[in-house]
Every structure is written in structure tokens, then in C-alpha cells.
Structure 1
């Protein structure tokens, strides 16, 4: 069973797109990135999130990167629940996603002088 909701059999599709916990994460992701609510059916939809938004190439690249980071954070939380008996908290996943995304942008992108406070409000503010 899904380690987050215990309501359905665990599968890639359920864990990353259909679980009620993960739907909350993707809803927060959409609000944070100021994009339309995401309707995800399988993992491929996550890989192609940037193709469904009509933004500049740079914005699409950042959103794609953030979607990959969000997926990693979901997987990491899943493993902590399964192997360390941690209680799942969508806010932990969202916080981890923002933190890792900030580190990625600050260290890998051309935006060296980004503000944590502004980042937490809207990750594309510097464009």
C-alpha cells in the first residue's frame, strides 16, 4: 500500500501523481510557480510539465528543474516513511523542494544573488 496515504496500492503513478498527499505537493508547486493547476496522470507528465506552460525558455527550464527536484523530494520522503518510520508531512516535502531548488539555482544557474525570502514567495522573481 502507498506509504503516504495507505489508500491505494503503491505504484509509480499513484506515488507521484494520484496520492492525496502528493496532490497537495503539486498544488503547492503550482501556486508557488504561479502556473495553472497541474493535472498529472503518470510520471511522464511530470517530466513534461514545462511543455504545458507557455513561458520563456528560461522559465520553462527552471520549472522543469523544480519539477525534478520535487519528484526527488517525494521519493526521499517516501523512503523516510518506509525505512525510518517517519510520519509523512506534505509541508516537509514542500519545504525540502524549496530549499533544494534554492541551492540549485544559487549554485548551478546564472542567478548568484537570489534572495531566500523572495525565492520562497515566487521562484521566478529574478527573471
Structure 2
């Protein structure tokens, strides 16, 4: 049965399969899949489909037209969040300049499968929470400051990874001070 399912999956083109990461809920993988296909209802796309909007400007910063790239990457608020993620992981640079960078999540500092999966989970959860923040701004709900949203991202990543990793548990203090360290700890245990 397993051989049959792997053969069936091999026949599907990669773009038709939903990306999944074992450390995040399926809803986050589906969100990333929809983002890759440009299937999220940003204002430019809604306007293009004839939906009458009072404005196509970004509901978060109001500085530019709201495209998916703007919402998740180039918005001032998103840039602040990505910079906080970069500093949290102690990276000199963060290579998130396109939607494909969010989907691929490559980083040369992380060289194990486990490290890449954890980094991908962090990038995907960050994108997902930026989208939730955008929706809160759009629909007039209470929205978080950058510091609070970033704290929520750290907490949700910790919670989801901890709940889904069956071979151990993360330490909260280590997680928020040096998450890259987990990559080497997992490798030492022979898990990565």
C-alpha cells in the first residue's frame, strides 16, 4: 500500500500536491499552497475580479497597493516581523524576497532535514500570522503590535513543533534565545 501511494504521488506534478510540513497544521500548508498559486483574496485580485472595493491599498500600512507579495513580504509591518525573525534566528541576512522564498525556505546555515523542516515551519507560521494580522486590519478587529504578533509567532511555532515532534521536547528558554541550537541538538541525538 505504501509503495502504491508513493508511486501515485510520484506521478502528480509537484505544483498540484499540497505542501505539508510535519511541524505545522495542515491549514498552514494549505495557506502556503494557496499563496504559491496566488489564490488568496488580496485587494488587487479582488478588484481584478470586479469586486467593488473602496480602496486597493494595503489595510495594514496604507502605503502601497495590496498584492500578495506586498502583504507577506514588502509591507512595512511585514518587514518589521521578518527582521525580528532574522534577529531571533541570529541570521546575518534573511532571504525572503519572493513568494517562492517563503515556499522553499532554503537557508545554508541549516544543513539537516530536521533543521530545514523547523525553519520552514517558522517561515510558514510567520507568513500565516502575517495573513491573519492583515485580515484583522481589513475587517476592523483588534490587531496586534509587531512585538505582540512576533511573540505569538514564537509561541505558536513552539507549541506546534512541540506537539508534533514525537521524539523529544523543546525547551522554551532555548527556543526563544537560540532556536538554531536545536538543529545541532537534534543532530547529536541522531534524529536530524
| TM-score after normalising by structure 1 | 0.87
Matched residue, 2:86: 30
Q: Please say if residues 72 and 78 of structure 2, whose CA atoms lie closer than 8 Å, have aligned partners that are also in contact.
A: yes
Segments of 4+ in structure 1 off by > 3 A? none
Match of 2:107 among 36, 52, 58: 52
Secondary structure of the corresponding residue to residue 180 of structure 2: coil
**Match in the other structure for 1:119:** 175
**2:165 matches 1:109:** yes
Matched, 1:84 2:147: no
- Deviation of 1:31 after TM superposition, in Å, equals 1.3
Instruction: Name the one with the larger helix percent.
Output: 1
Q: How many residues align?
A: 126
Q: Structure 1, residues 78-100: CA drift from partner, whole Å, max 9, x if none?
A: 11111134345211221111011
- CA pair 80-34 structure 1, distance change in 2 beyond 3 A: same
Gaps of 5+ in 1: none
- Which TM-score applies when normalising by structure 2? 0.60
- C-alpha spacing 1:3/1:47, structure 2 compared with 1 (3 Å): same
**SS of residue matched to 1:52:** coil
Deviations 1:1-45 (A, max 9, x none): 112111001110001110111111111111111223224332111
Q: Which moved more, 1:35-44 or 1:21-30?
A: 35-44
Asked if structure 2 preserves the Cα contact closer than 8 Å seen for 1:17 and 1:40, the reply is yes
